[in-house]
Amino acid sequence: MLRALMLRKKINDAKAALEALKANESDFESRALELQQRTDEAAQAIEEASTDEEKQVVEDTVTAIENDQAALDAEKAENDQKIGDLENEISEMEKELEEVEDQQRAKAPAKEPEKVITPDGEIKTERTTSKMFKTRALNKMTDIQRAEFVQREDVKKTLEGVRALISEKRTVTGSEVFIGVSIFELIRDNVIEYSKLYGRVKASFTKNNGRQPVEGTIPEAIWTEACAALNELDLSFDSVELDTYKVGGYFAICNARVEDSDIDLLDVFADALMQGIGYALDKAFVYGTGVKMPTGFVTGIADTASQLVTIPSNKTGKDLFKAIINAGGVADGKKSRGRITWIMNEKMYRTLKAEALEFNAAGALVSGIDGTMPVDGGDVVVLNFVPDNNIAFGYLDLYAALIKKEMTVSVSTECKFIEDQTVIKGLMRADGKSAVVKAFGAIGYGSAPTTEVDFPGVDPES
């Protein structure tokens, strides 16, 4: 117990130190842009210098710039080294902590299953093994944790249902398997692995169908006298009403895999099924039409000219980044607890990396953008459904998402019969909408930003 407490304290301290080191990166980017501006001015001065005195001044300026660049490169290299060392140290301590906790759990006396009374009055026992897992992402579990997880009653029931449907060669119609809480939580973590925005928006979970209000932001607490009554907080503050529409995907599995172990089947089932759903959620959070799907934050500002910014295509280099950072100001982040996120496709990201290229003191060509927007410091997320020359941005913790705590899966052996494969189709129900519409914006580089994208297979009756 004491060893675990000590490790947690060390990990927390190391993470705080790591955040402080990462905070230096925005300062390095600012200094790099300033040096680039001085370099451009010096290059112009070299062309204009005519007298010996002017040439000497230019030479001194160039020397000062080179010295400053060398100092910056040295500081950044040292900072990067410290970040790498700390990340490795944290990783090692977390592994050690997990081993210590596993040992403690192994020594702990077995607990009796908890008694749970269902709404129908039925008494059931509920396993407590789910509390053992730090994560339910299958690829992050140890072999022992995987083996324990597939022994859970609801997990075995799900896998047995999938095997039965395949072996009985039922069609999709009427052949659904209920996905319970345990596998839902595992699949939810896998969605987070594949969705780049799920972990950034404000997600709420429900067991109910139909529309319901969800708080979009948390109201500010109220100061008062020490002995005075507390003020009631307005939990309807920036609330939005959300439904639970379905999003689905399918994949084909070789029938031979059905004969493999439960762990192998679960691995394929949970991993492959969620890739398409994670991508679809991201796309809907940004561009969703609001018709039988979430309303994307870009869709929510489609008619608000002040939040749609067009940057001329002749803006390049530092002028382009100045324009982007200025455009970010149209997103109101006063109610956010986080920082702005920039979303673009790979092509636009590479354009920005090329525009941020510069030579360092060692003569190496480097880019000032690597996962974060220069100077601004907001995270850059690459998602290829964003149209070319477009950037969607905003404070994603002010986007409210509602996820239903259940899933269903359907199985068919017919459409891939010749290939000896079975198609497994999964459905998740979700909705989303901006809690604060003014917290988002969109940029078009060279033309007005796009506010609508195509969604394949949209069925208005679904």
Contacts of 9 (CB under 8 A, 6+ apart): none
Tell me which of 58, 87, 107 is where a domain ends: 107
Tell me which of 107, 126, 147 is where a domain ends: 107
Q: Are 23 and 134 members of one domain?
A: no
Q: Are 168 and 196 members of one domain?
A: yes
Q: Are 121 and 253 members of one domain?
A: yes
Look at residue 392 and tell me if it is in a domain: no
Q: What domain count does the chain have?
A: 2
Question: What is the phi-psi region of residue 197: left when phi exceeds 0, alpha when psi lies from -120 to 50, beta otherwise?
Answer: alpha
Which pair of tokens denotes residue 341? 């996120």
Mean predicted confidence (pLDDT) in 113-128: 43
Question: What is the phi-psi region of residue 169: left when phi exceeds 0, alpha when psi lies from -120 to 50, beta otherwise?
Answer: left
Look at residue 98 and tell me if it is in a domain: yes
CA distance 71 to 339: 29
Please report the pLDDT score of residue 385 as a whole number: 95
Tell me which of 69, 84, 107 is where a domain ends: 107
Q: Are 174 and 278 members of one domain?
A: yes
With beta carbons less than 8 A apart as the criterion, state whether 453 and 339 touch: no
Look at residue 153 and tell me if it is in a domain: yes
Q: At what angle do helices 262-287 and 143-150 cross, to 10 degrees?
A: 90
CA distance 393 to 386: 11
Least confident of 32-41, 64-73, 109-118, 330-339: 109-118
Please report the pLDDT score of residue 162 as a whole number: 67
Please report the pLDDT score of residue 310 as a whole number: 98
Closest CA to 331 of 341, 323, 317: 341
Q: Are 38 and 97 members of one domain?
A: yes
Look at residue 146 and tell me if it is in a domain: yes
CA distance 80 to 62: 26
Look at residue 69 and tell me if it is in a domain: yes
More confident residue, 2 or 118: 2
Which pair of tokens denotes residue 397? 């913790």
CA distance 440 to 340: 9
Look at residue 366 and tell me if it is in a domain: no
The yes-or-no verdict on residue 223 having pLDDT over 90 is no
Average pLDDT across the chain, whole number: 76
Q: Are 90 and 153 members of one domain?
A: no
Please report the pLDDT score of residue 236 as a whole number: 43
Look at residue 394 and tell me if it is in a domain: no
With beta carbons less than 8 A apart as the criterion, state whether 335 and 217 touch: yes
CA distance 242 to 364: 51
Closest CA to 140 of 190, 191, 86: 190
Closest CA to 317 of 365, 271, 276, 358: 358
Question: What is the phi-psi region of residue 363: left when phi exceeds 0, alpha when psi lies from -120 to 50, beta otherwise?
Answer: left
The yes-or-no verdict on residue 285 having pLDDT over 80 is yes
The yes-or-no verdict on residue 316 having pLDDT over 80 is yes
Give the DSSP letter of residue 289. Answer: B
Confidence bin at 136 (pLDDT 50/70/90): very low
Q: Are 70 and 150 members of one domain?
A: no
Give the DSSP letter of residue 112. Answer: P
**For 411-458, what is each residue's pLDDT tens digit?**
565 555 555 566 766 677 888 999 899 999 999 999 999 999 998 765
Contacts of 330 (CB under 8 A, 6+ apart): 306, 307, 309, 441
- Residue ranges of alpha helices (H) inside 328-462 are 346-355
Mean predicted confidence (pLDDT) in 293-297: 94
Q: Are 137 and 78 members of one domain?
A: no
State how far the alpha carbon of 312 is from the alpha carbons of 96, 298, 326, 386, 434, in Å. Answer: 53, 20, 14, 19, 28
Beta strands in 255-307 (DSSP E): none
Q: Are 92 and 159 members of one domain?
A: no
Beta strands in 306-378 (DSSP E): 308-311, 341-344, 357-359, 365-367
Contacts of 403 (CB under 8 A, 6+ apart): 188, 203, 204, 205, 206, 244, 428, 429, 430
Confidence bin at 42 (pLDDT 50/70/90): confident
Please report the pLDDT score of residue 346 as a whole number: 94
More confident residue, 208 or 342: 342
Least confident of 87-101, 128-142, 284-298, 370-384: 128-142
Structural domain for 248, as ranges: 114-220+233-296+409-432
Most confident option among 1-10, 269-278, 332-341: 332-341
Q: Are 24 and 86 members of one domain?
A: yes
Which pair of tokens denotes residue 296? 């994307």
**For 3-36, what is each residue's pLDDT tens digit?**
777 888 888 888 888 888 888 887 888 888 888 8
Tell me, rounded to whole angstroms, the distance of Cα 292 from its chain centroid: 23
Give the DSSP letter of residue 383. Answer: -
Cα-trace Rg, the chain: 27
Q: Are 19 and 41 members of one domain?
A: yes
Least confident of 111-120, 180-189, 290-299: 111-120
Mean predicted confidence (pLDDT) in 119-137: 42
Look at residue 210 and tell me if it is in a domain: yes
Q: Are 244 and 142 members of one domain?
A: yes
CA distance 288 to 434: 11
Confidence bin at 460 (pLDDT 50/70/90): very low
Please report the pLDDT score of residue 246 as a whole number: 67
